[in-house]
């Protein structure tokens, strides 16, 4: 089996990766596109445990059920591992929320981790600088590759005797940024062309939903959400993400002092600020003031 990858962007619903977080999008969402279930052997749904993932799993499973194709749906959570001191990089409980999403709809759930890096933390230390808008090695190396490997795992297990055809569903929404608003709802991935042994369609089933609609889907369908939202977080991602809004980082630092202290020590050792415009040291000061 070739390891020539398909590389969906941040394949498991990385909620804080928007290029223009909180910017007013000027591009309307792409028109809804009907996903062609018959043309795909299975669909992997990336679930980070965040609110968009809950709505995503609902939307995919509802459409699949109507089409008689629920057996094709697989939910994947990418485990980002722990820091040197044993802190979870993700919010504790995110994995369990993702598992609850899959269980509610009766579809298989898998947790996978990068085969190369023990955790995102070690990947960052190896890189020697923090991820950023133009250095998204965090998602590509710990989520995207992991999602690809899982699709290969499912496709290989089906013993089709031909390259598999997979859908890869992600929770990106147009409302999040101008860049995301421009994305088509379905797109043949660029690595699916001649010479590759797989055909992958990226699919954004909740591209047109607003934040309010996402929460409405949760309420109407009794979908589990992470308690961090009830404690003032607007987004669920890595507990300390350089691409997150500073307000969310300050709130996260209040709720997660241990991991922020460890990250701040790494910041001092690296000699690079966590975000371009603010250091972790300052974020922690704001959190404690």
Task: Name residues contacting ligand SF4, limited to 105-164 (CB under 6 A).
Answer: 131, 138-139
Q: Cβ closer to ligand SF4: 174 or 241? A: 241
Helix 51-66 / helix 94-105 crossing angle, nearest 10 deg: 20
Output phi, psi for 46, to 5 deg: -80, 125
Contact call for residue 237 and ligand SF4 (CB under 6 A): yes
Contact call for residue 202 and ligand SF4 (CB under 6 A): no
Task: Name residues contacting ligand SF4, limited to 240-279 (CB under 6 A).
Answer: 241, 243
Q: Cβ closer to ligand SF4: 95 or 241? A: 241
Instruction: Give the DSSP H/E element, type plus range, for residue 42.
Output: strand 42-46
Contact call for residue 185 and ligand SF4 (CB under 6 A): no
Task: Name residues contacting ligand SF4, limited to 17-46 (CB under 6 A).
Answer: 17
Q: Cβ closer to ligand SF4: 73 or 241? A: 241
Gap between the Cα atoms of 57 and 225, Å rounded: 12
Residue 68 Rama label (left phi>0; alpha psi -120 to 50; beta): left
Contact yes or no for 213/54 (Cβ under 8 A): no
Stretch that binds ligand SF4, among 20-28, 49-57, 236-244, 261-269 (CB under 6 A): 236-244
Helix 280-288 / helix 257-270 crossing angle, nearest 10 deg: 150
Instruction: Give contact residues for ligand SF4 (rule: CB under 6 A).
Output: 14, 16-17, 131, 138-139, 237-238, 241, 243
């Amino acid at each position: 089996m070739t390891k020539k990858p398909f590389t969906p962007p941040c394949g498991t619903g990385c909620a804080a990766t928007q290029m223009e977080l909180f910017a007013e999008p000027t591009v309307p969402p792409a028109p809804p596109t009907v996903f062609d279930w018959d043309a795909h052997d299975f669909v992997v749904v990336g679930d980070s445990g965040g609110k968009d993932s809950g709505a995503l799993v609902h939307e995919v499973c509802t459409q699949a059920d109507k089409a008689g194709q629920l057996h094709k749906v697989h939910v994947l959570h990418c485990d980002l591992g722990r820091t040197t001191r044993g802190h979870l990089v993700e919010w504790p409980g995110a994995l369990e929320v993702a598992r609850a999403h899959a269980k509610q709809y009766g579809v298989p759930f898998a947790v996978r981790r990068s085969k190369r890096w023990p955790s995102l933390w070690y990947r960052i230390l190896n890189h020697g600088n923090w991820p950023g808008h133009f250095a998204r090695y965090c998602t590509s190396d710990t989520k995207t590759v992991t999602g690809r490997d899982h699709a290969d795992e499912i496709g290989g297990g089906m013993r089709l005797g031909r390259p598999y055809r997979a859908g890869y569903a992600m929770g990106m929404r147009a409302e999040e940024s101008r860049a995301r608003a421009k994305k088509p709802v379905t797109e043949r991935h660029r690595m699916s062309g001649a010479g590759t042994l797989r055909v992958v369609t990226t699919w954004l089933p909740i591209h047109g939903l607003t934040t309010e609609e996402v929460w409405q889907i949760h309420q109407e369908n009794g979908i589990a959400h992470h308690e961090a939202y009830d404690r003032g977080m607007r987004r669920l991602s890595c507990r300390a993400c350089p691409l997150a809004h500073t307000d969310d980082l300050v709130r996260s630092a209040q709720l997660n002092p241990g991991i922020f202290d460890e990250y701040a020590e790494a910041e001092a050792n690296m000699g690079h600020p966590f975000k371009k415009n603010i250091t972790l040291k300052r974020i922690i000061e704001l959190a404690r003031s």
